[in-house]
Amino acid sequence: MIWIIILIVVAVILLWLWLTYNGLIKAKLRTDEALSDITVQMKRRFDLIPNLIETVKGYAKHEKSTIENVTKTRTAAMSVPEGDLRKMAQSDNMLTGALKSLFAVAENYPDLKANQNFLQLQEELVDTEDKIQASRRFYNGNVRDFNIKLQVFPTNIIGGMLGFKSRDFFDVDESEKEAVAKQTDVKF
């Protein structure tokens, strides 16, 4: 009789350990997936920028420094190692600022603002910025859930024993929280 009780207790403990471990793994994988979504959207933005620059070059030949700055910040942002959230956020902030400058230059060229290719690229870039913001929110939500699991009792004991580490949120500087869309929301 006592053996049956011991076996039931051991089975309940093993079941709890199994469910806790699987819950931590699921939360970790969701967080990794969310970070990958950010990377995918940033890559999409990186791919749009050369087309945008080529369109602007034809109209704003004497704005070379602005165009070079966008190119330089894009290259720097592309070279940030995946997973280094601090550097990703810093390079993202710099690229957003450079794009704001590029769109400010475009304001001085009515023919450029009316160019269909430029308008399409601008819309795609605004859409991409929105998707990047949504990806950040999704990632931060998953980080929050994962970190909560790692901090509440008794999951924190299992997480600590198995080497799970809390994740950092994807933060953006206050000054950069305005989307490029707000800078480019001009009626043509």
Q: Over the stretch 45-62, which tens digit does the pLDDT of each residue have?
A: 888 888 888 877 777 666
Task: Give the architecture-level CATH label for domain 14-184.
Answer: Up-down Bundle (1.20)
On whether the pTM is more than 0.75, the answer is no
SS3 158: helix
Q: Across all residues in the chain, what is the average pLDDT?
A: 83
Q: Residue 27 — pLDDT band, cuts 50, 70, 90?
A: very high
In this prediction, residue 138 carries a pLDDT of 94
**What Å distances lie between residue 22 and 17, 63, 71, 138, 158, CA to CA?**
8, 55, 44, 21, 11
Q: Residue 113 — pLDDT band, cuts 50, 70, 90?
A: low
Q: Residue 172 — pLDDT band, cuts 50, 70, 90?
A: low
Q: Read off the pLDDT of residues 118-153 as tens digits, 9 standing for 90 and up.
A: 788 888 888 988 998 899 999 999 999 999 999 998
In this prediction, residue 174 carries a pLDDT of 53
